[in-house]
Every structure is written in C-alpha cells, then in structure tokens.
Amino acid sequence: MKIVIVGGGFAGLKLARMLSNKDGFEVTLIDKNNYHQFQPLFYQVATAGLDASNISFPLRKVFHKSRNIRFRLAEVREIVQAENKLVTDIGDFHYDQLVLATGADTNFFGNKELQEKAFPMKSTVEALQLRQRLLHNFEDALMAKDVEQLRSILSVVVVGGGPTGVEVSGAIAEMKKYVLPKDYPELDFRAMKIYLLEGSPKTLGNMSEKSSKDSSRYLQKLGVEVLTGTVVESYNGEQVILKNGNAIGAKTVIWAAGIKGNVPTGIDSNSIVRGNRIKVDRTNKIQGFTNIYALGDVAYMETPKYPHGHPQVANVAINQAKTLGHNFERMLNGNSHNLLEFEYHDKGSMATVGRNLAVVDMPAPKLHFRGFLAWLIWMGLHLFLLVGVKNRVQVFVNWIYNYITYDQNLRLIFRIFYRGEHPKENNTAK
C-alpha cells in the first residue's frame, strides 16, 4: 500500500511512526518544513524562554532506522483525485491512500488590517519574529521622547483568551516583573501595559468555570489587564480600535483569537465546513472521496459525543492517527469491511499562566487542579510529548535554570541580511 502523508505535525508524525517498518506499506511523508514543531511551547520561544531548536526535531532523524518511510521537503499545490496524484513544488506523487494532516493556521476572520499588522504565533518562525519585535521594542523604548510614546512602545495587546493567549500574556508579564527591569534599568516599566482581550465573557472558555476564574485571577496577579466581552474592530499599527469605540495604544498586537484549517486545492468545497475544516466520516475518510483522509485540526468529524466536531488539540490528532493506522493494517489484510470508528476519550485540558500558576481539568473522575500542583502536571505532560530525548533534557534544564534564576538567557536580536544588502535595509528575522 503506497501511502502519502501531508504534514509532519502531531497527527502526521504519529501515523508515520505507526507504519514504520511494517511490511506491506510504502510511506512518503511530505512537509514544507524539515522538522516537527511542538506548538504548545511556541509562546516560550516568543518570550525568550526556550530556543527554537528546543521545540523542533528533524523529521528525517525520526526515521533513521525505518525501512519504508521517506521524507520529502515540499509544498502541496493540488490534489488530482481522478489520477490519485498529489502535485507539489518538487514534482508529483502518486498514492493508493492520501492522508491530509496539514493542521491549522491563524484565522483573522477576513480583517486584512489585522493580518498585515498583528503578530500570529502558529509556527516556530512566527514565534521568532514575535520575539524579535518584542526585544526591538525594548531597545526603541530607550529613545522615547515622552511617557505616552514610552507606553505605546512597551505595551502589548494579546487578542484571544484561550490557552495560547493566556500563556503568552503570563509569560510577557513575568518578563516585565523579573527580567526587564534588570536589562533596562533606565526604563520605568510601570508604563508598560499588558492587555488580554477576549470577546466571550471569560478566559479559557473551553475549560471549567473554576479554571476560567483561576486563570483570570492569576493574570491579574501578574499585572495583566484582562478585558472580557471585548471585540477588536481594527488595528492601524499604533492603536487597537475596539467595537465599543475605545482605543488602546500599543506597538505590538499578538493575535491568538482563532484558527482555520489548511485545506489544499482539490478538495470539494462542499466538504469544507465552518473553520475551514474538512468533513470526514468516523474513519477520518473525507466525504465524497474513496481514498483520501484528513486528521487533526483540519478534520471535522461529528459524533454523538461531539456533534459540533472535536476540539483542535494534540490529543485528538494523535488518537485519530492511531485509529487510521490500525485501519490501514486491516485494509492491507483484506478486512476493509470491519474498520474501527474513531471515538475521542477526553483526558482533560490544561493551561499555564506563570511560575507555580496553572490550571488542569480532568473529566473522569471530575477533578480540578490549580497552582503549583497543576503547574507540575502541565510541565510533566509537555516534557513527555516533546519529540527527542535531547529536546526533553534541554527544555527541562532551561526550565530549572529559569525557575532558580528568575531569568531567561535567550534575549538575542539577530540582524539578518543578504550579501549586497545594507544591514539597516533588512534588519529583521526572516
């Protein structure tokens, strides 16, 4: 069975690992990056807590001992269903089974102004770009002419009160409290405001009421101004304009308010539903196709337990990949009429706000943890999910160092320019 997997995220990588060295399978894994990126820790890269290499792992290295997995660095152009062909920028790939594990990207809900000027955080590169901006802002603040200009340069607006928004807000607040006054003793960081804007009535809307209240309390304890029921209208690079007519001055806006699936060309528009997700059946087969599947964030599956689709989290993606892997084995063995149906068993959700501050919800038994214990649980799970022993050790050492010293050691500004360019013409990370 010739299988092509598009995407080396949680779902694509898990499926490829399941099929590795299994007789009868020839697998090609395609991704536009040559590494797996651990999305839950992007915010720590953005706030100089971790290096990009700590949360990234070369995909080729994963399969050093595999006989039947091949990796190709490519970008998908089109799916030609009639020919069982995937068109990419490096050539065509033919398949018996095609699996789309393309994940999701930032959803700006059609707001072009925000798309151009706000900072998303859905890739390692975007996290690095945000870090570059934040560090440049602190340098620029040294030349501020008055308090108003200083406040505008230093202030940060985070849009979206889900786990990403809560975590990055808390991390920036801890930088302000523990690190920045030592780096920049000339600056008065009382002028720096950190805002978390959420359109719904509470933060962490998909978690329990206790977690929502605890997260808001923790953020406020760190000095973050949490504004719920607040919707952003526009952003001109200087001011965030709200639906209620108010404005917030800030040079940096971080957009964590929504995601949309990455759907390749060639998928019938009738199969695409809200959130740009592809509708699939209980085996993750795309409706209207006989041999194309979708996994993870890009897949939309309705079940009695989840009539509006599953949450777009790593655990769903990993378990969908496991089920599909078992079904491919059954199909190879001639048991196509007895395939497993996917059922998601929620093991809980969690978010961290800062050192010793986190929330964890467990559905069965129904438990809620907060504070230091929840923070330890959060750290343990994220270390376990990281790919590569070296990465786990490096992240753990970094966390211990940061915990003891109240400091991060990666506040580096790299000015990248190409041969023949003047450094001042192109001084941001690419």
Three-state SS for 171-234 is HHHHHHHHHHHHHCCCCCHHHCCEEEEECCCCCCCCCCHHHHHHHHHHHHHCCEEEEECCCEEE
**What pLDDT score does 275 carry?**
93
427 domain residue, yes or no:
no
Instruction: Say how many CA atoms lie within 13 Å of 404 toward its Cβ.
Output: 5
Average pLDDT along the chain: 93
55 domain residue, yes or no:
no
344 domain residue, yes or no:
no
The CA R_g of the chain, rounded to the nearest whole Å, is 23
**What pLDDT score does 339 carry?**
95
Note whether 228 and 274 are same-domain residues: no
Q: How many folded domains does the chain comprise?
A: 2
Residue 413 contacts residue 135 (beta carbons within 8 Å): yes
C-alpha to C-alpha distance for 181 and 154, rounded to whole angstroms:
12
Residue 343 has pLDDT above 90, yes or no: yes
Among 80-89, 219-228, 404-413, which is the least confidently predicted range?
Answer: 404-413
369 domain residue, yes or no:
no
Q: How confident is the model at residue 417 (pLDDT cuts 50, 70, 90)?
A: low
Q: Which DSSP string corresponds to 48-89?
A: TSS-GGGGEEEHHHHTTT-SSEEEEE--EEEEEGGGTEEEET
Task: Provide the domain limits for residue 275.
Answer: 2-32+74-106+259-332
SS3 236: coil
**What pLDDT score does 368 carry?**
95
Residues 193-211, mean pLDDT to the nearest whole number = 95
Among 62-71, 75-84, 93-102, 363-372, which is the least confidently predicted range?
Answer: 363-372
**What pLDDT score does 411 carry?**
87
Torsion of CA 252, 258, 264, 266, to 10 degrees: -130
Domain boundary among 257, 284, 313: 257
Note whether 20 and 124 are same-domain residues: no
Q: How confident is the model at residue 409 (pLDDT cuts 50, 70, 90)?
A: confident
**What pLDDT score does 407 carry?**
87
422 domain residue, yes or no:
no
20 domain residue, yes or no:
yes
Helix (H) or strand (E) holding 350: strand 349-354
**What pLDDT score does 430 carry?**
38
Note whether 101 and 132 are same-domain residues: no
Residues ≥6 apart with Cβ < 8 Å to 380: none
Q: How confident is the model at residue 187 (pLDDT cuts 50, 70, 90)?
A: very high
Residues 44-73 as b/e (b if ≥16 CB within 10 A, e otherwise) read: bbbbbbbbbebbbbbbeebbeebebbebee
Among 29-33, 205-209, 391-395, 410-414, which is the least confidently predicted range?
Answer: 410-414
**What pLDDT score does 365 carry?**
82
Domain boundary among 270, 305, 332: 332
pTM of the model: 0.90
Note whether 117 and 13 are same-domain residues: no
- CATH code: domain of residue 100: 3.50.50.60
**What pLDDT score does 279 carry?**
97
Nearest to 89 by CA among 104, 78, 100: 78
**What pLDDT score does 425 carry?**
46
Note whether 121 and 215 are same-domain residues: yes
Residue pLDDT, tens place only, 245-257: 999 999 999 999 9
Residue pLDDT, tens place only, 30-67: 999 999 999 999 999 999 999 999 999 999 999 999 99
Residue 394 has pLDDT above 70, yes or no: yes
pLDDT cut 70: percent of the chain above it:
97
Residues 16-41 as b/e (b if ≥16 CB within 10 A, e otherwise) read: bbbbbebeebebbbbbbbebbbbbbb
Question: Cα separations (Å) of 147 from 156, 174, 249?
Answer: 15, 22, 12
Q: Which residue has the tokens 């050790």?
A: 393
Residue 297 contacts residue 311 (beta carbons within 8 Å): no
Note whether 174 and 245 are same-domain residues: yes
Residues 207-213, mean pLDDT to the nearest whole number = 95
**What pLDDT score does 193 carry?**
96
DSSP class of 40: G
Note whether 116 and 102 are same-domain residues: no
C-alpha to C-alpha distance for 72 and 250, rounded to whole angstroms:
41
382 domain residue, yes or no:
no
- CATH code: domain of residue 226: 3.50.50.100
**What pLDDT score does 210 carry?**
95
Omega before 201 cis (within 30°)? no
pLDDT cut 90: percent of the chain above it:
89
Domain boundary among 332, 357, 391: 332
Q: How confident is the model at residue 428 (pLDDT cuts 50, 70, 90)?
A: very low
**What pLDDT score does 75 carry?**
96
Residues 95-109, mean pLDDT to the nearest whole number = 96
